[in-house]
Every structure is written in structure tokens, then in C-alpha cells.
């Protein structure tokens, strides 16, 4: 029972982190219709910027300044890169962001080198916040959960209750009309892109110390973020949250509980082949759930795309 | 994305004219002659690599350029074809099988995979297709580490091509014999892919790419058309995989994963997706960059990344597209007009790039070299990165080059317009 609770918290941390990345991505997609392949690269930039700042001014300044910097870089990319490529169509846009992801990774390697950088959690958040029977829950995880929830709340408030949020929502569905009403839609686009990448930056700042900050960190998380928003339904913020949590819990539980294929197969009534190593099916028999935990999200995405292309909460086709 | 290479005259006559056949004759001649020009073993290895990449890129362009399907998992079909070929090499009956037919097994494997995956992924083009291809690609790459029986786990599987039945007395022990085997397959598959793009189904793929709705109204199922292209592309990717297996005799998870899929996208787009021969140029340039540039500098992939992003931003039709832009000037016989403006602009631009690259290299050396090691060699000159002189030289190069390029660029644009528009007088 206690183990379940611990895993729920762990899954929540992963899920909320994924959500912070996918929230920005799904906003950008619903606005511009382009899947930003480089989104996870901005997450990586967030972590690296925060590391660089934290060596001079400490973790908290990094948390404050790095996302802003990432947002500025993101807005610049939209203004001078994407807007230019936009005229060629959606596929070149997608390819542009793909190239950008490569370029950012190479730039990071160029500046900070190929190895992991020693980006640490602040001293005040070291140690355990509380214990569940014998399991310690680190304070940093609690901090991550709270920060993500605050950001989600803030985002929801801005989007639904403020004037800016209304304009953004209107520009999502009818950009032409909004423009005709006298709003500067390209500026709104740039702003949303900047905020979306800044959110990814925040995720990078807080995930950097626990998931380690290295040039491959964008690649590791990049495709999972796509999976999240595709499962949740493109353009749906609630869907992104839901899918992020599902993926977080799915992978955490698959890793924590060692479900073995052998038990399932014998449970159904198959005979275990002897000797096992000689059998063509030996890989199937030795399969365990921690082994496949990381590919479960992809499996889920392919199934979703085949049977329900709108995703869980999406309204329109991808 | 207009297809400029089509030749209405030849189509009307229904026969093969010399003009249509000429590029193929030249191509075949080049494949035959090149090993006599570049005789070293490493050059032949590079050419083998190049040929395999060309087949793979052409097959990828069947999807991206001709069918409008952006795939992030095309390496799967090449990899699966390659893996099957290595397994065939390890069979007992391989001794009664001549090596040159081996790629067909790879092709069939690639086709079978494309049949299975294409049955659900080609329902839509665009983002859905891209996402499914990404998901499937990740799935299979991840499976390759788990399913050890077929994929060999982390270390992959390896075979020996020389166990095959000798073909016309050749046992394919040396690189040059392998080169001609790959060259033969390169010619055959390139020709077949070209002919495929000229069949009604290949033409319909273009129509479905440009406007699926209209194609549906003409009575074609756009899904079926996409499916056909997809399966054909899978077949040729499998052939490339088979050739890879013959050339390297080992396949690992690396041949299936997202990095390989991504780099073939890069190659194809760099070359140009709008023209049939675009991916060929892309594959040649990319392989040269990869092999030659990586010998010269550690950060070659940074340059390749920058080149790729610049291509997408400024020349979305790729290198082939840039070449094709000059076709009208040649037709009008006014290409001489372009020479001087090109020299005036491109030489300073090249100097500017050299300057920037120099600064980037010095920065990289200053930041990442071992402590105390300040000497570095760049452009055949050895100097100390702590001294101020090289910085100034490269900065001046970059700034002056940039300034002159900006100055002369409008003249070039003007000359280009003049060269590509017909004369008023000659009418």
C-alpha cells in the first residue's frame, strides 16, 4: 500500500514535468498548426542557462532568469525563423524545427561540451520532506509538484479569465477575424511561442538537477513530449495534463512492479519451453515490465492514432 | 514542388529519346569509371557508403518529395532489410546463393514491413503520418534491444559475405568487387524508382501530395495511392539495407533508430525534394561532408546543422532546386552574364564563412582543449589561441566578406533576373 502511494507521487512528478513541456507545445500547435520538434531543445536550454546562472548567482536566480532568457530565444526563433519558413507550408516548418533541434544540440555541445554539467539542487531542498512508512519523499519532488501546479493554475487563469487569454483563444480558432478586429496577431503568435518555450525552460530548470543536465537530455524527452500531446489530443490543454499523468504513472508503475511475461503466459496456460535459451520465443518468455516501460507510451500513441486519431480530448483531427 | 524534369516531347512520342536516356548513360559511365579515378581503399569505401545513401535517400524521397509524406521512421525499413540479409548470410543454404541477389531479400523484408505498417499509417498524410512513423520507429528501435533472437541486442548481428556461392568467379573479398555490386544495384534501383515516378501510380502520388481532395474526386483513393508509394519506398529502403549488410557485414540498433531516420531526412532535404536527382546530390554532398569534414574538425556536425537550417530557411527547394533555377539561363544561352556577378558575390561570401568558421574553431579550441595546450592548427597554419592576432584576422575576414557580399548581392539578383528573362529584341 505504501509502495503504491510512493509510486503515485513519483508518477505525479514525471507526469507534471511532462505536462509543463507539453502545455507549451500544444498551445503552439493549436495556434500555428506546427508541431515544434525543437520544443525539448528549449527545455534543455533552460537547464543549461540555469546551470550557468546558478554558478554565479545561485539556483533561485536561475529559476527566475533562465526561463525568461529561453522565452526570448524562442520568440526570436519564431520572429526570424519560423515566420520566414511559414510561407513554404507545414512540412518545411516541421523540418525547420527538426533542424533547429539538431542545431541547438550541437550548439550546446559546442558551448558546454559533451559531458554532463554539475547542476545541483539547492541546499535548502536537499533531504526528505516527509516519510511514508520507510520511504523518504525528497523535498525537491514536493517542490516540483507545487511549482507545476502553480504554473498550471496560472496558465488556466490567464487563458480563461484575462483579456489577453480571450484574445489568444480567439486567435486560436479565427486568426483572420481577430486580426480584422485590430489585434496584432503575429505579435500574439510570437508571444505564445515565447511563453510556450519559456514554460519548457522552467521544466528544464527544475528537471535539470534530478534528470541530469547533458546534451542528450532533449533527445531523451523530445519524442515523449510529442507522444503526450498526440495522446491527449492536439490543442487540448486538459488532454495534455491527462495524457502526461497517464504516461507518468504508466511508466513508473511498469518500472516499480516487476510483472514477468513468464507468469502471464503460464497463467494463460502456455507450457514453458525447455531449455529456454534454445527456443525462438525465449525473448518473449524472459520479457519483464521494467524492460518495456519506456516503450509503452509509444505503443499507446500508435494505438490511439489508429483507433482514435483525435486523441483523448482533441476536437480536431491531427 | 513542380516537377521540372518531365519531358512532354518524349512522352508524346512514347519512345526513349537520347535526351531522356543521356543522364542514365552518363550515370552508368560514372559508376564504372570512378574507381579508376579514385583508387585508394578509403575512397572506394566512401563511394560505397555514398551509393547506399543515394538509394536510401531516393527511396525516402518517394515518400517526402513525390508523395508528400514526412516520415521520421524510414530507417526501420532499411534496417529490417539489412537485418534479414545478415540472417540469410548466416543460413546454411547461403553457400548455394550468389551474393548479388541478396539485396532482394532485404527489399522483400522492407516491403513486408511497409505492408504491415503502411496498412494503418497511410490513412492520412501530414502530421498524423509523421507522428505514426515516429512512434513506430521508436517502438521498433526499442524492440531491437529487447528481441535478441532477431536483432542481436546491444551488439547487433554480424555475418560473412564471402560464404556465398561465387558469382562469375568473384567471391567479393575486396572492396572493389563490392563496389561494383553496389554500383549495379544503385543503377538498377535508381532507374526503377525513376520509372516508378513516371507510371500512372507515381503521377497520382504527386496529385495526392498536392491536393488529396481533388484526387479523390477523380476517383482515386488517396489512401491507396499513398499505400502504394509507401510499399515501393519500403522495398527500395530494404535494398539499401541489404547493400549495407553486404558492405559492412554488421547491423546494430543504430541502423534502425531515430538518428538514422533523421539524417536521411536531412540528406534528402539538403539535396532537394522537388526534383528526382535532388536526393542524389544530397547524398553525395552529405557523405563528403561527413567523411572529409569530420577528419578536419571535431565540430563538423555543428556546420552540417547550420547548413541544414539555412537550407530550410533560404533554399527550401534544396541544392537541386538552386541548380534548376539556372536552367532558364542556360536555355536562353545567357549564362555567361552570371559568371562575373557570381564571382563578385560568392568569393567574399566564402571569405566571410571562412572568417566565421575560424572564430568558431578558435573559440572551441580555447574552451575545450586541455589546460596549457594553446597551440592549434587551422587552415594549415599553426598558431596560439591566446594571441590576439588570429582573432583579428578572422574577424576582419568575416566582417569585410560580409560587407562586400551585401554590397554585391543586389547586382547578382539583377543579373540573374536579366539572364533568366528572354530578350525583348530577339523576339
Q: Summarize pLDDT for A208-225 with one digit per residue, the tens.
A: 888 888 888 888 888 888
Average confidence (pLDDT) over A5-32: 85
Specify if A314 maps to a domain. no
**Residue B319 near residue B285 (C-beta atoms within 8 A):** yes
Side-chain half-sphere exposure of A35, counting CA atoms within 13 A: 24
pLDDT in tens, B112-164: 999 998 888 888 777 778 888 888 888 888 888 887 778 887 788 888 777 77
Q: In angstroms, rounded to a whole number, what is the distance separating the alpha carbons of residues B134 and B128?
A: 10
pLDDT in tens, B304-362: 888 888 888 888 888 888 888 777 777 777 777 777 777 777 788 888 888 888 888 87
| Amino acid B189: pLDDT | 92
DSSP secondary structure of B191-213: HHHHHHHHSHHHHHHHHHHH-HH
Query: B124, B143, B138: which is closest to B73 by C-alpha?
Result: B138
The grid coordinates of residue A283 equal 525473448
| Amino acid B423: pLDDT | 67
- Ordered by start, the domain boundaries in chain B are 8-318, 328-420
Average confidence (pLDDT) over A247-260: 84
Among the partner-chain residues B265, B313, B368, the one whose CB lies closest to the CB of A98 is B265
| Amino acid A278: pLDDT | 63
Query: DSSP 3-state assignment of B165?
Result: strand
More confident call, B39 vs A144: A144
Residues 65-94 of B with CB under 8 A from A: 68, 70
Among B116, B278, B309, B356, pick the best mutation site for testing chain A contact (most A Cβ within 10 A).
Answer: B309
Q: Is B10 exposed, middle or buried (0-12, 13-18, 19+ CB in 10 A)?
A: middle
Average confidence (pLDDT) over A180-192: 85
Among the partner-chain residues B135, B142, B302, the one whose CB lies closest to the CB of A107 is B302
Q: Does B126 touch chain A (CB under 8 A)?
A: yes
Q: Is A189 exposed, middle or buried (0-12, 13-18, 19+ CB in 10 A)?
A: buried
Whether A67 shows a pLDDT value over 50: the answer reads yes
Query: DSSP 3-state assignment of B17?
Result: coil
| Amino acid B7: pLDDT | 46
What percentage of residues in chain A have a pLDDT greater than 90? Answer: 10
b/e code B142-153 from CB counts within 10 Å (16+ = b): bbbbbbeeebbb
pLDDT in tens, B361-402: 878 877 777 666 666 777 777 777 677 777 788 888 888 888
Specify the CATH class of B8-318 in words.
Answer: mainly alpha
Whether B10 shows a pLDDT value over 50: the answer reads no
Among the partner-chain residues A98, A107, A318, the one whose CB lies closest to the CB of B128 is A318
Highest mean pLDDT among A27-31, B72-76, B124-128: B72-76
More confident call, A172 vs B64: B64
| Amino acid A184: pLDDT | 83
The alpha carbon of residue A149 is apart from the nearest alpha carbon of chain B, in Å, by: 29
Whether A72 shows a pLDDT value over 90: the answer reads yes
pLDDT in tens, A108-134: 988 888 888 888 777 777 777 677 777
Main-chain phi, psi angles of A138, to 5 degrees:
-65, 145
> What is the value of pTM for the model shown?
0.84
Average confidence (pLDDT) over B178-185: 89
Query: DSSP 3-state assignment of B249?
Result: coil
Specify if A195 maps to a domain. yes
The alpha carbon of residue B148 is apart from the nearest alpha carbon of chain A, in Å, by: 7
**Residue B196 near residue B26 (C-beta atoms within 8 A):** no
The number of C-beta contacts closer than 8 angstroms across A and B is 115
pLDDT band at residue A275 using 50, 70 and 90 as cut-offs: low
**Residue B52 near residue B240 (C-beta atoms within 8 A):** yes
| Amino acid B14: pLDDT | 53
Number of domains in chain A: 1
Highest mean pLDDT among A256-270, B88-102, B373-387: B88-102
Q: In angstroms, rounded to a whole number, what is the distance separating the alpha carbons of residues B270 and B316?
A: 9
pLDDT in tens, A133-148: 777 778 888 888 888 8
Q: Report the CATH number that the domain containing residue A253 is assigned in CATH.
A: 1.10.3470
Reported as type and span, the H/E element at residue A132 is strand A128-132
Specify if A310 maps to a domain. no
Query: DSSP 3-state assignment of B52?
Result: helix
| Amino acid B11: pLDDT | 47
Among the partner-chain residues B68, B132, B308, the one whose CB lies closest to the CB of A305 is B132
Give the residue numbers spanning the domain of A67: 2-257
Average confidence (pLDDT) over B26-38: 83
| Amino acid B3: pLDDT | 45
Q: Is B135 within 8 Å of A91 when comparing Cβ atoms?
A: no
Average confidence (pLDDT) over A193-198: 90
| Amino acid B59: pLDDT | 93
Amino acid at each position: 500500500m505504501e509502495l503504491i502511494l510512493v509510486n503515485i507521487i513519483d508518477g505525479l512528478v514525471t507526469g507534471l514535468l511532462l505536462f509543463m513541456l507539453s502545455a507549451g507545445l500544444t498551445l503552439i500547435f493549436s495556434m500555428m498548426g506546427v508541431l515544434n520538434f525543437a520544443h525539448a531543445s528549449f527545455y534543455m536550454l533552460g537547464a543549461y542557462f540555469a546551470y550557468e546562472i546558478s554558478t554565479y548567482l545561485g539556483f533561485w536566480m536561475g529559476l527566475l532568469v533562465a526561463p525568461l532568457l529561453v522565452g526570448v530565444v524562442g520568440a526570436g526563433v519564431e520572429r526570424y525563423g519560423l515566420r520566414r519558413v511559414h510561407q513554404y507550408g507545414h512540412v518545411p516548418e516541421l523540418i525547420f524545427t527538426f533542424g533547429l533541434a539538431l542545431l541547438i544540440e550541437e550548439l550546446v555541445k559546442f558551448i558546454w561540451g559533451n559531458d554532463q554539467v554539475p547542476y545541483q539542487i539547492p541546499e535548502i531542498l536537499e533531504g526528505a520532506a516527509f516519510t511514508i512508512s520507510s520511504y523518504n519523499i525528497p523535498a525537491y519532488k514536493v517542490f516540483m509538484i507545487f511549482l507545476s501546479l502553480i504554473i498550471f493554475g496560472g496558465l488556466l487563469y490567464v487563458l480563461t479569465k484575462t483579456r489577453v487569454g480571450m484574445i489568444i483563444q480567439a486567435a486560436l480558432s479565427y486568426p483572420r477575424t481577430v486580426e480584422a478586429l485590430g489585434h496584432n496577431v503575429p505579435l500574439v503568435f510570437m508571444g505564445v511561442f515565447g511563453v510556450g518555450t519559456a514554460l519548457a525552460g522552467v521544466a528544464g530548470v527544475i528537471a535539470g538537477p534530478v534528470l541530469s543536465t547533458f546534451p542528450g537530455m532533449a533527445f531523451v524527452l523530445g519524442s515523449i513530449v510529442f507522444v503526450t500531446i498526440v495522446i491527449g489530443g492536439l490543442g487540448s490543454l486538459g488532454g495534455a495534463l491527462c495524457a502526461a499523468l497517464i504516461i507518468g504513472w504508466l511508466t513508473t508503475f511498469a518500472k516499480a512492479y516487476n510483472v514477468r511475461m513468464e507468469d502471464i503466459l503460464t497463467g494463460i496456460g502456455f507450457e514453458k519451453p525447455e531449455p529456454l535459451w534454445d527456443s525462438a520465443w525465449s525473448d518473449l518468455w524472459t520479457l519483464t515490465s521494467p524492460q518495456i516501460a519506456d516503450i509503452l507510451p509509444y505503443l499507446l500513441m500508435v494505438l490511439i492514432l489508429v483507433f482514435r486519431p483525435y486523441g483523448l480530448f482533441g476536437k480536431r483531427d491531427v | 514542388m513542380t516537377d521540372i524534369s518531365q519531358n512532354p516531347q518524349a512522352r508524346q512520342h512514347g519512345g526513349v529519346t537520347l535526351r531522356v536516356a543521356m543522364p542514365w548513360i552518363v550515370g552508368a559511365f560514372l559508376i564504372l569509371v570512378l574507381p579508376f579515378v579514385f583508387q585508394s581503399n578509403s575512397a572506394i569505401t566512401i563511394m560505397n557508403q555514398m551509393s547506399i545513401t543515394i538509394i536510401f535517400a531516393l527511396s525516402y524521397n518517394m515518400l517526402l518529395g513525390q508523395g508528400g509524406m514526412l516520415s521520421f521512421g524510414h530507417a526501420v525499413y532499411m534496417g529490417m532489410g539489412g537485418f534479414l540479409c545478415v540472417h540469410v548470410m548466416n543460413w546454411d543454404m547461403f553457400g548455394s546463393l550468389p551474393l548479388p541477389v541478396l539485396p532482394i531479400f532485404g527489399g522483400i523484408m522492407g516491403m513486408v514491413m511497409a505492408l504491415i505498417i503502411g496498412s494503418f499509417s497511410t490513412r492520412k498524410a501530414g502530421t498524423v503520418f509523421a507522428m505514426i512513423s515516429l512512434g513506430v520507429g521508436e517502438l521498433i528501435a526499442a524492440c531491437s534491444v529487447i528481441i535478441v533472437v532477431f536483432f542481436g541486442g546491444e551488439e547487433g548481428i554480424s555475418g560473412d559475405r564471402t560464404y556465398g556461392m561465387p558469382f562469375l568467379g568473384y567471391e567479393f573479398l575486396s572492396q572493389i568487387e563490392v563496389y561494383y555490386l553496389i554500383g549495379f544495384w544503385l543503377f538498377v534501383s535508381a532507374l526503377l524508382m525513376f520509372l516508378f515516378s513516371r507510371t500512372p501510380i507515381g503521377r497520382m502520388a504527386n496529385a495526392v501530395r498536392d491536393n488529396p481532395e481533388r484526387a479523390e474526386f477523380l476517383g482515386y483513393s488517396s489512401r491507396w495511392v499513398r499505400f502504394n508509394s509507401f510499399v515501393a519506398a519500403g522495398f527500395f529502403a530494404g535494398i539499401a539495407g541489404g547493400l549495407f549488410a553486404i558492405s559492412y557485414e554488421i547491423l546494430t540498433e543504430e541502423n534502425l533508430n531515430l538518428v538514422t531516420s533523421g539524417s536521411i531526412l536531412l540528406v534528402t532535404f539538403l539535396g532537394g525534394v522537388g526534383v528526382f536527382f535532388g536526393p542524389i546530390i544530397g547524398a553525395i554532398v552529405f557523405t563528403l561532408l561527413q567523411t572529409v569534414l569530420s577528419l578536419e574538425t571535431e565540430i563538423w556536425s555543428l556546420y552540417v546543422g547550420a547548413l541544414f537550417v539555412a537550407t530550410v530557411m533560404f533554399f527550401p527547394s534544396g541544392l537541386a532546386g538552386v541548380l534548376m533555377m539556372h536552367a532558364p539561363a542556360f536555355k536562353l544561352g545567357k549564362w555567361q552574364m552570371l559568371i562575373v556577378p557570381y564571382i563578385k558575390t560568392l568569393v567574399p561570401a566564402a571569405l566571410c564563412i571562412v572568417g566565421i568558421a575560424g572564430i568558431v574553431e578558435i573559440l572551441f579550441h580555447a574552451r575545450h582543449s586541455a589546460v596549457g595546450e594553446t597551440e592549434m592548427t587551422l587552415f594549415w597554419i599553426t598558431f596560439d589561441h591566446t594571441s590576439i592576432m588570429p582573432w583579428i584576422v578572422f574577424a576582419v575576414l568575416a566582417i569585410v566578406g560580409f560587407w562586400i557580399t551585401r554590397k554585391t548581392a543586389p547586382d547578382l539578383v539583377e543579373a540573374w533576373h536579366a539572364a533568366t528573362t528572354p530578350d525583348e529584341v530577339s523576339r
